[in-house]
Structure 1
Amino acid sequence: MSRLLDETRAVLDHAIRVFADDPHAVGALTAQRARLGGPLRVALAGSVKAGKSTLLNALVGEQIAPTGVGECTRVTTHYADAPSPRIGVTYRGLRREGDPAELPALHRRGSLVIETERLDLARVAALHVDWPSQHLREVTLIDTPGVDSAVSRSVWGSAEQSPEDVIDCVVHLVRHLHEPDTAFLESYGDRVAENVGAAGTLVVLSRADEVGGGRIDAVMAAQQVARRYRTDPALRPWCATTTTVAGLLAETARTLRGVEFTALRTLARLDRAELEAQLLTADRFVAASGVLPSGTRLALLDRFGLFGVRLATSLLRRGVDDSAALAAELGRRSGLDDLRDILATRFLARRDVFQARSALLAVERFLARARSGFPTAGVAGSRPSPVPRAAASRPPDAPALAALAEAVERVRSGAHDIVELDVLTRLRRHPLALPGRASAEVTEEAERLLGDAGPAAAERLGLAADTGASELRAVALAALGRWRGHAENPLADPDTAEVAQVVVRSLEGVLAELPRLVGVG
């Protein structure tokens, strides 16, 4: 366990003692404490049918989240690693007689089925799916209802949010940067930033195959769009970066079946002109007569989409000769591998920092509520308490609150990693302005040095991962001198000078962790 998490745990213990008479605060703070050092909590957000559940299945490598034509995610659902399958239900307020605490974990045709017909969804806070999976050991994935859904009661700022709904990072899926997605980012961005910030938010163009009209190069075209989105003024303030993935293809690649490989290989052996004519449209493909029945063709479209069938048969023609190789190549070309790399370098590598920041912010919110004279019930991260309001005693006195605030500040002031996240979020909205240097150029360098692309020394310095220590040290020393100059520049505005000082501290940390060169002779 890291020192930062140990110090955060001590602050939470202090806060639990201060708010001991408030069951709302105790419940939320205890939940925060219990999750420190555990899996990172990543929420999948986006409009209805943006592909959240499909991407979740691709990341896990199994079909455990329901997908289909209609709206499938009608209540926030947590997917976590566990020894055996289980589907638990938590409610808003007390569970009534007849409310099921669990749902049966049913399997149909290789997929998990979540039957919610017995539930009053308006009263359900969340579902919790326990599932044995190595891909869920480091991260708990939270599938949320569409932000434009009529039934949406997601984790974004609900006054009755339960402790387990606390999130560390957000993956926001968009088809294109259209109105519903921009509206979400603008309406909920500030609320998400309270816990996550732009440094913890990733935007994914989730229907990459649609950008290029289903052509073989569709994902490449979508990658170009994603690169443009990274500098889009409507998007930049709300996320760390953007990437793209063909979600359906990624899911199918991770769950490819032998019978599907056989059918695709049969198609690939057809005359090229004949197959291309069949694959012009979905209707033509299903109606084509010959080597495959229409039922098999429909199943391939359902699993791969027209783009996936085109790409798979093209790869088979080029020499991919077994199902494992085909699945690996489809996964790579879907963009899933790039997405997993971003999640690992930007989010998982900073798991302790995201968790500590979220926990400290929870304490600060309870402090603010207590100081303002409002009850802490309804603070984000708290569960409605069954204890009658009359049973609650008076709030903590001013000295106790002041001592707790000092404890929070001590941890924050000594946690440069948290400062980096805060500054990265600020830079997404307010680029730097240094005399004699282009704003975009200097802001990009500052973000990289602050660990925007990953906290490792090579990632911060923009060098290859296998770069030697001597070269890392030389580049870091040059950057340190440059940014000390920025921090001391009398023409720089105060905000820019402050950011430069944080960058200087980051570079000093990089140099401190590099092996020292020892002279010989």
Structure 2
Amino acid sequence: MSALLDSARGVLDRATEVFAADPDALALLDAHRGRLGGPLRVALAGSVKSGKSTLLNALVGEQIAPTGVGECTRLVTHYADAPSPRIGVVYRGARRPADPAELPALHRRGSLVLDLERLPLDRVAALHVDWPSQHLRELTLVDTPGVDSAALEGRPRPWVGHGQDGAGDDEHGGWGADVVVHLVRHLHEPDVAFLEAYGDRVAAGVGAAGTLVVLSRADEVGGGRVDAVMAAGQVARRYRSDPALRPWCATTTTVAGLLAETARTLRGVEFTALRTLARLERAELDEQLLTADRFVAAGSGPDAAGLPEGTRLALLDRFGVFGVRLATSLLRRGVDDSAALAAELARRSGLDELRGVLGERFLARRDVFQARAALLAVDRLVRRARAEEPAAPRRPSPVPRPATGPGAAALTALAAELERARSGAHEIVELDLLTTLRRRPLAAARRGSGAELTEEAERLLGDRGPSAAARLGLDEATGDGELRAVALATLARWRARAEDPFADRDTTETARVVVRSVEGLLAARPVPVGAG
């Protein structure tokens, strides 16, 4: 375990002593202790029907999250790797004798079924689905109800750190996420406004540095043309520097969720049906695929134009018109087996790029996100305890009263230990500064624009990945000698900014953190013995 996680564990142990009489606090601390060094917990957030469950299935490669026409995710549901399938139920408060502790792990048409009819939804905090999957060994995925869900009316909204003081991070009712993937259907003004309205509450405690915005319906861009995902990717890249979106996320990317899910779960009968369609005259198939209705109607004639109506409806349900167009086009170009087709559909859906972003920006900093989440949980407990601490009486009471919580001295000592851990963890300082820079970019320097200065600072702080090459803007194959030379030049440049008497406070403080980051890169690459 890393030194950073060891430090966080020490603070959690100290907090456990301070809050020994508070069972809720102990449950929260134990949950964070158990997460240290384990899979990164990624919450999928967004409005109703933004494609959260579909994307979850695509990432896992199996249909384990319910999807459909109506609202499917009514409870926060955690999906984690385990030796055997199990669906556990976590309640708010004590479980009553008639409350089921588990749900049966049922399959229907290749999908996992979550039967919620027997559950008192108003008292259920979350479901925990154990599922054997290699794709869940590094990530625990948290599927969440839409933030605008009618299913949440009258129930606590399970947002990370909800509440004015962020004290609502309930491990049993909240997401307990290290990072958040926020899905939006489009990136128009209403979608950005939605992020502004919900972003703070959804990702409180995670911040912009731990949030990824995904344009999840990429196939709808450009009328569902074969190049729709490419066009959506251009839109997402343009929005990465948009000042209206920057405060809410580390970066943006795009994915055609339905196509990604189908590519990861492609069935043999579907490949056969697509190959039959690909053998039709191109003009004939193009005309059929102008609309979904035309495509289905073409299967109702005597010759069914290659495929009957029922098969066509099943293809639309799994691929959509865009997916059928793309798949048949690939088959015409020479893709000749189901495995190759699935791989190419996954790549073109944007799923591979999304997985790359998750790996480079979040999984590579798993320890940092987990330690930061643990320390924030302790910080919230301390602030909540101080807020509930009664004022000191003017005169001592002649009647001794039992203590109802941790004493002021214990809280002060814990707060001091917490501050030492946070300030001594440079990786966490980097994350916090990245979030600050997303919301408050640096002002223009005497030489260079503020945007250029901010972009370089973010890169050096690990915004594009924590490796030395990514921070320095070099290829990953760059040798240590060149990395060291570029790092030395960068260090000199940012030391000058840190010592510039004309620089504003934000630039000076940012430069000091950047200098320490670059010094860390150089310390990891000492000059070889005998080198001139």
TM-score by length of 1: 0.94
* Counterpart position of 1:241: 251
Q: Deviations over 1:97-138 (max 9, x none)?
A: 211111111011111111111112111100111000000011
Greater relative CO (CA pairs within 8 A, separation 6+) = 1
Find the residue that maps to 2:223 and give its secondary structure.
coil
| Unpaired stretches in structure 1, ≥5 consecutive residues | 376-390
Q: 2-side partners of 1:193 and 1:334: how far apart? A: 26
Q: 2-side partners of 1:119 and 1:446: how far apart? A: 50
**Contact kept in structure 2, 1:252 and 1:303, CA below 8 Å:** yes
Please, which of 152, 168, 171 is the counterpart of residue 163 of structure 1? 171
Q: Deviations over 1:55-85 (max 9, x none)?
A: 0000000000000000000111100000000
Find the residue that maps to 2:150 and give its secondary structure.
coil
Q: Which amino acid aligns with 2:385?
A: A
Q: Deviations over 1:41-61 (max 9, x none)?
A: 100000110000000000000
Q: Which amino acid aligns with 1:154?
A: P
Q: 2-side partners of 1:166 and 1:118: how far apart? A: 25
Q: 2-side partners of 1:323 and 1:441: how far apart? A: 46
Aligned pairs (5 A) from 1:408-487: 408-433=418-443, 434-487=445-498
Q: 1-side partners of 2:255 and 2:486: how far apart? A: 34
Q: 2-side partners of 1:8 and 1:270: how far apart? A: 62
Q: 2-side partners of 1:192 and 1:6: how far apart? A: 28
* Counterpart position of 1:361: 376
* Counterpart position of 1:127: 127
**Contact kept in structure 2, 1:47 and 1:181, CA below 8 Å:** no
Q: Deviations over 1:18-49 (max 9, x none)?
A: 11112221121121111111111100000110
* Counterpart position of 2:89: 89
* Counterpart position of 1:491: 502
* Counterpart position of 2:226: 216
* Counterpart position of 1:116: 116
2:338 pairs with 1:330: no
Aligned pairs (5 A) from 1:37-436: 37-152=37-152, 153-158=157-162, 161-164=169-172, 165-178=175-188, 181-192=191-202, 194-288=204-298, 289-373=304-388, 393-433=403-443, 434-436=445-447
TM-score by length of 2: 0.92
**Contact kept in structure 2, 1:82 and 1:130, CA below 8 Å:** yes
Q: 2-side partners of 1:450 and 1:207: how far apart? A: 31
Find the residue that maps to 2:306 and give its secondary structure.
coil
User: Are the structure 2 counterparts of residues 328 and 517 from structure 1 closer, same or farther at C-alpha, using a change threshold of 3 Å?
Assistant: same
Q: Shift of the alpha carbon at 1:177?
A: 2.9
Root-mean-square deviation over aligned CA pairs: 1.7
User: Are the structure 2 counterparts of residues 116 and 231 from structure 1 closer, same or farther at C-alpha, using a change threshold of 3 Å?
Assistant: same
Find the residue that maps to 1:411 and give its secondary structure.
helix
Q: Shift of the alpha carbon at 1:184?
A: 4.5
Q: Deviations over 1:406-463 (max 9, x none)?
A: 2112211211000000000000000011222211111111000000010000111111
Q: 2-side partners of 1:116 and 1:73: how far apart? A: 11
Q: Shift of the alpha carbon at 1:232?
A: 2.0
Q: 2-side partners of 1:170 and 1:509: how far apart? A: 28
Q: 2-side partners of 1:84 and 1:26: how far apart? A: 28
Runs of 4+ displaced beyond 6 Å? none
Q: 1-side partners of 2:429 and 2:196: how far apart? A: 24
Q: 2-side partners of 1:268 and 1:518: how far apart? A: 64
Aligned pairs (5 A) from 1:498-513: 498-513=509-524
Q: Shift of the alpha carbon at 1:181?
A: 4.0
Q: Shift of the alpha carbon at 1:156?
A: 3.6
User: Are the structure 2 counterparts of residues 515 and 109 from structure 1 closer, same or farther at C-alpha, using a change threshold of 3 Å?
Assistant: farther
Q: Which amino acid aligns with 2:97?
A: E
**Contact kept in structure 1, 2:78 and 2:127, CA below 8 Å:** yes
Q: Shift of the alpha carbon at 1:169?
A: 0.2
Q: Deviations over 1:296-330 (max 9, x none)?
A: 11111110000000000100111111111000000
Q: 1-side partners of 2:147 and 2:386: how far apart? A: 33
Return 331-340 or 160-169, whichever deviates more.
Answer: 160-169
Q: Shift of the alpha carbon at 1:275?
A: 1.1
Aligned residue pair count: 506
Q: 2-side partners of 1:151 and 1:205: how far apart? A: 24
Return 201-210 or 184-193, whichever deviates more.
Answer: 184-193
Q: 2-side partners of 1:120 and 1:392: how far apart? A: 37
Q: Deviations over 1:79-99 (max 9, x none)?
A: 000000011111111112211
User: Are the structure 2 counterparts of residues 193 and 260 from structure 1 closer, same or farther at C-alpha, using a change threshold of 3 Å?
Assistant: closer
**Contact kept in structure 2, 1:286 and 1:294, CA below 8 Å:** yes
**Contact kept in structure 1, 2:229 and 2:254, CA below 8 Å:** yes
Q: Shift of the alpha carbon at 1:398?
A: 2.0
